[in-house]
């Protein structure tokens, strides 16, 4: 019952605050994509504040957070890390599925933010389009953020790495920094699915895009599925 009450309080307060932030965000979008960055970071900080104060969920970061010319590959267990990333990077370009672009208002804001949209079933043409977007982002010094499993994966479970990650890394010739995390232990679906605790994100050493595809994907898979509290982190 206590978790359910906390979940309801979080939903009311976080989404209420989000509505209050919506107008300045839309105004910033109309100005420029650079003006949008502080607004999006403020919203993400509001999210983390609500997580901490209402749900008792905190975030701990291990290792150096990379900026600039790099691809950052996150384990994907919950909605928590998808918003938290906005507080970690300077102007991140996040890879996401094309369907999200069609969400009213949000999709427009995400596009203006510089998100890289991918049509996962469209084949070679979609891959070329993704690479063009990624090269533009890399040329402007933006870190590229991707969730290479393509879907949420429950704690303790391992999902295959989608082919798009290797194509992206080899196509833009950027190293990949894998990130292990344990958000799924504390953030689950449903109002009663949130549990107090410390979500740990571990930024690990770079993986070279020059590796053969199989070795590359195996290295990424092992890294993102490691225990974030125990692994060697990026210096």
Residue 117 lies in a domain: yes
Q: What per-residue confidence (pLDDT) applies to 121?
A: 65
| The token pair that represents 64 in the structure block | 């150096």
Measured CA distances, 14 to 51, 139, 186, 218 (Å): 9, 35, 17, 38
Considering the chain, what percentage of its residues have pLDDT values greater than 70?
A: 96
Give the angle subtended at the CA of 77 by the CAs of 6 and 74, to the nearest 5°.
125
Res. 39 pLDDT band, cuts 50 70 90: confident
We report the CATH number of the domain holding residue 141 as 3.40.1130.10
Sheet holding 144-146, edge to edge: 57-62, 197-203, 176-181, 71-74, 144-146, 93-97, 116-118
Q: For residue 149, is it within any domain?
A: yes
Asked whether the predicted pLDDT for residue 120 surpasses 80, the reply is no
Most confidently modeled of 31-40, 121-130, 146-155? 146-155
The pLDDT score that the predictor gives to residue 112 is 78
The predicted pLDDT at position 2 comes to 82
> Does the structure show a pLDDT above 80 at 209?
yes
What is the phi/psi pair of residue 137, to 5°? Answer: -65, -45
DSSP per position, 151-162: S---TT---PPP
Decide if 101 is inside a domain. yes
Q: How much of the chain, in percent, has pLDDT values that exceed 90?
A: 62
CA dihedral of residues 35, 11, 199, 226 (deg, nearest 10): -90
Inside any domain, residue 178: yes
Q: Which residues contact 48 (CB under 8 A, 6 or more apart)?
A: 59, 83, 84, 87
pLDDT at 117: 87
Domain range spanning residue 95? Answer: 58-224
Residue 62 has pLDDT above 90, yes or no: yes
Average confidence (pLDDT) over 192-205: 96
Q: What is the mean pLDDT of residues 75-100?
A: 91
DSSP summary character for residue 228? T
Whether 49 maps to a domain, the answer reads no
In a domain, 28, yes or no: no
For residues 95 and 168, the answer to whether their CB atoms sit within 8 Å is: yes
Res 122 pLDDT > 70: no
Model confidence at 10, pLDDT cuts 50, 70, 90, reads very high
The Cα–Cα gap between 94 and 51 comes to 22
Decide if 5 is inside a domain: no
- Are the CB atoms for 206 and 177 separated by under 8 Å? yes
- On whether residue 204 sits in a domain, the answer given is yes
- Split into its structural domains, the chain has a count of 1
């Amino acid at each position: 019952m206590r978790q359910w009450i906390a979940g309801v309080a979080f939903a009311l307060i976080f989404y209420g605050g989000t509505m209050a932030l919506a107008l300045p965000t839309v105004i910033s979008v109309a100005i420029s994509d650079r003006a949008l960055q502080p607004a999006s970071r403020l919203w993400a900080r509001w999210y983390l504040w609500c997580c901490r104060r209402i749900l008792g969920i905190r975030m701990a970061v291990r290792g150096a957070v990379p900026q600039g010319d790099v691809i950052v590959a996150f384990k994907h267990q919950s909605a928590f890390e998808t918003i938290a990333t906005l507080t970690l990077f300077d102007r991140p370009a996040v890879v996401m599925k094309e369907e999200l672009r069609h969400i009213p208002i949000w999709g427009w804001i995400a596009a203006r933010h510089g998100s890289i949209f991918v049509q996962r079933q469209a084949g070679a043409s979609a891959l070329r389009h993704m690479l063009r977007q990624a090269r533009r982002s890399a040329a402007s010094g933006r870190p590229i953020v991707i969730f290479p499993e393509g879907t949420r994966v429950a704690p303790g479970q391992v999902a295959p790495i989608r082919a798009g990650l290797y194509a992206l890394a080899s196509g833009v010739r950027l190293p990949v920094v894998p990130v292990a995390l344990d958000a799924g232990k504390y953030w689950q679906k449903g109002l009663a699915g949130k549990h107090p605790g410390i979500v740990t994100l571990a930024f690990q050493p770079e993986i070279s895009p020059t590796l053969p595809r199989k070795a590359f994907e195996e290295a990424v898979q092992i890294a993102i599925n490691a225990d974030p509290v125990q692994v060697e982190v990026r210096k």
